[in-house]
Amino acid sequence: MGKKVAILQSNYIPWKGYFDLINTVDEFVLFDDTQYTKGDWRNRNIIKTKQGPQWLTIPVKQEKQSQLINETKISDTRWARKHWTTLSQNYSKAKYFERYRDQLESLYLALTNEYLSTINHRLITEVNKILSIGTRIRWSSEFDVLEGRTERLLSICEQCGASEYFSGPAAQSYFDIELAKRSNIKVNWLNYEDYPEYDQLHPPFDHRVSILDLIFNEGPNAKKFMKSFDNE
């Protein structure tokens, strides 16, 4: 049976679709030796508050134009405590907040890492544990890659021994399907539409928010509101 692989930049406390992608594959490669993009999902995400959606942003240093994600450093070490305080203030009344409070608070207060990639990796790994996702996580820097957007991704797939590549729908705008066919790699696009709504604090409902919103509100039932789990 062939191996399924996905390759994506690390994000800060990503939304549920990111974890559906991880859970769909056998190996998930963090594509962090690529260009850091300012104002993107790499160092920020959205939570729900009484006042509406709010960004949580990790402050980072933009030291050069061609800076890679895995070269990006934190500019203010106080961010983690501030973010945990904000999460606590806005989710303390969520049904399952207390269940995960100690686990996530201790993690946040231990996030003294200098590099954004390492912080994202630790948080993604912890959420995988909460959701019982056992997918192997690797770094793109482990691989020898080719030039070209599609070529780089396919070369990683080949080195992983993948027969199938999975991606979110946005990549369809640039991914070269013909190259994948010539490499005998089947390409699959995840569908991020028609997610079921759950019991979210502070309506109206917003699907874009961090996975922590789903975990705090639904706890062990979170998988029922995702697409990659067997919810029969």
Residue of 224 and 63 predicted with greater confidence: 224
| Residue 221 pLDDT greater than 60, yes or no | yes
1 band by pLDDT with thresholds 50, 70 and 90: low
Residue 232 domain-assigned? Answer: no
Residue pLDDT, tens place only, 80-138: 999 999 999 999 999 999 999 999 999 999 999 899 999 999 999 999 999 999 999 99
Residue 230 domain-assigned? Answer: no
199/191 Cα distance (integer angstroms)? 22
* Number of Cβ atoms within 10 Å of the Cβ of 75: 12
Whether the full predicted model's pTM is greater than 0.85, yes or no, is yes
| Residue 20 pLDDT greater than 70, yes or no | yes
Beta-bridge mates of residue 186: 164
Residue 46 domain-assigned? Answer: yes
Residue 221 domain-assigned? Answer: yes
What domain range includes position 96?
3-225
Q: How many Å is the maximal CA-CA distance in the chain?
A: 53
Residue 73 domain-assigned? Answer: yes
Residue 68 domain-assigned? Answer: yes
Q: Which residue in 94, 101, 141, 102 sits closest to 121, CA to CA?
A: 141
